[in-house]
Copies of this chain bind each other. A is one copy, B any other.
Amino acid sequence: MKAALLSVGTEILFGQITNTNTVYLSQKLNSMGIDVMYHFTVGDNPGRLAEMIEISFRDCDIVITTGGLGPTQDDLTKETACSVMGDSLVMHKDILESIEKRVLSYRTVMTDNNRKQAEMPSRCRVFYNDAGTAPGFALDRVNPQCPEKKQWIACMPGPPSEMMRMFEKSVMPWLEELSEGALYYRELRTFGIGESALETSLLPVIDGQTDPTVATYAKTGECSVRIASKRKTREEAKEAVEEMINRVMELVGDYVYSTHGEDYPSMVGRLLIERGITVSCAESCTGGKFAAALTDISGISQVFDRGIVTYSNAAKIQELGVKSETLAEHGAVSEETAKEMAVGIRRVSGSDIGISVTGIAGPDGGTDEKPVGLVYIGLAWGDEVICRKISRNIKDRDGNRTNAMLSMFDMIYRNILC
């Protein structure tokens, strides 16, 4: 199966937003064994949009669009897809009801353009939207060049959070129904190794690969390895993937924290809840990112008691009981301060685990002795207090903060949960 990705939106052509949807969809489709042949972006213009759909269908079976499904006048993807695929819009009562329910929960009136969002192609498969008002859909037509074959278009909204939820919940299962043979894939998540080093370590299984395929992907602060196989049955594909996972684990197992694609905050949060281990955190350079990532998980209130962001020295002393002598002698960014912060947050919260972080995120504020990228993470549990030092030497504030936050999850996982 071959696919084209078609992004709709003048804001992309203006360079106002970075098109991350195509990155996400390319990774997902490739990992499902669907070849991505093109990325196209057009503005909110039905003529050019229709032309690009037809151009895509010259050598692709599926066109996946994002954007242009909103309630406003320049949102014309639905109408255009309908006319290219030979269908027409009709009002879907159940969609209208769900939009009404959503809109009236935060506003007093439904507008005509909200009502328009409930009009959908008559013979489409609807993809419901959990996170916004615009539903998505899939439509097919007979391939004009080859009448025994079909062509498909799937249309999703542009905002990444809506699109990703819809893709995972509805579009992926639909694509799995369409594709011949059975695909099985797994994502291994690693932490603490860069992408080029990871790929070099995996060369024995990457070189000359046909099936299963093994590919590395860099994510923010970490890398993942995707292993995919397409066989006659799902069982055969699964077996081939699992065999390859064993080989990959022999080569880079030390860095793998999840063999099922689960990210660090979700995995650590799940394990803490399952085992009833409580945690509190004291953050400096990450400024609340660890607490924010952990509390993304529904139900975490069972084990997360409190987090304190101590940006000033006064806050470190008052909130956590860090000694002023420690700050004077070793500085706020030091092993000693990190350890006292971890012990302090554990004491004030009464949690099983106290985790702390202090560092220099940059871009400014570094010295020769304590450069930007220097971070200390403290961990206190039971009678133990340990500290990890990280020296990245990169003036990338966001990268340093994300890396420090993920390292906190890594510390908890490696020392307590794994």
Contact = CB atoms under 8 A, between A and B. Distances in A.
Interface of A: 7, 9-20, 22-28, 30, 36-44, 48, 52, 55, 59, 70-74, 102, 105-107, 111, 113-114, 130-131, 133, 159, 161, 185, 187, 194-197, 199-200, 206, 215-220, 226, 228, 283, 286-292, 294-296, 298-301, 304-312, 314-315, 318-319, 348-350, 361-364, 373, 391-394, 396-399, 401
A205 to B, nearest CB: 13
Given A206-B73, A392-B105, A296 B301 contact: no
A37 B10 CA distance: 9
Contact of A130 (B299, B396, B401): B396
Which 10 A-B residue pairs are closest in the complex by CB-CB distance? A287-B295, A15-B26, A288-B291, A288-B288, A105-B393, A15-B27, A307-B309, A39-B41, A306-B315, A288-B292
Contacts of A131: 396, 398-399
Contacts of A295: 286-288, 309, 311, 401
Contacts of A393: 105-106
Given A196-B72, A288-B291, A309-B291, A40 B38 contact: yes
* Majority DSSP secondary structure for residues of A touching B: mixed
A417 B28 CA distance: 44
B12 A39 contact: yes
A171 to B, nearest CB: 16
A196 B399 contact: no
Contacts of A398: 131, 161, 296
17 contacts: A7-B39, A11-B215, A12-B39, A16-B215, A18-B18, A18-B23, A48-B59, A106-B391, A292-B292, A298-B364, A301-B311, A305-B314, A305-B315, A306-B310, A308-B319, A319-B319, A319-B348
A232 B89 CA distance: 42
A397 B393 CA distance: 36
A200 B113 contact: yes
Contacts of A15: 22-28, 30, 36, 217
A305 to B, nearest CB: 5
A287 B298 contact: no
Nearest to A113: B196
A12 B28 CA distance: 13
B42 A13 contact: no
Contacts of A288: 283, 287-292, 295, 307, 309
Contacts of A159: 218-220
Nearest to A395: B130
Given A15-B23, A16-B218, A300-B311, 15 more contacts: A12-B26, A13-B38, A14-B228, A15-B36, A18-B18, A37-B42, A48-B59, A71-B199, A105-B391, A106-B393, A298-B397, A305-B312, A307-B308, A308-B309, A309-B309
Contacts of A185: 14
A306 B306 CA distance: 13
Nearest to A157: B218
Contacts of A291: 287-288, 291-292, 309
A107 B309 contact: no
Contacts of A363: 298
Nearest to A130: B396
Nearest to A58: B51
A19 B16 contact: no
Contact of A72 (B23, B44, B195, B300): B195
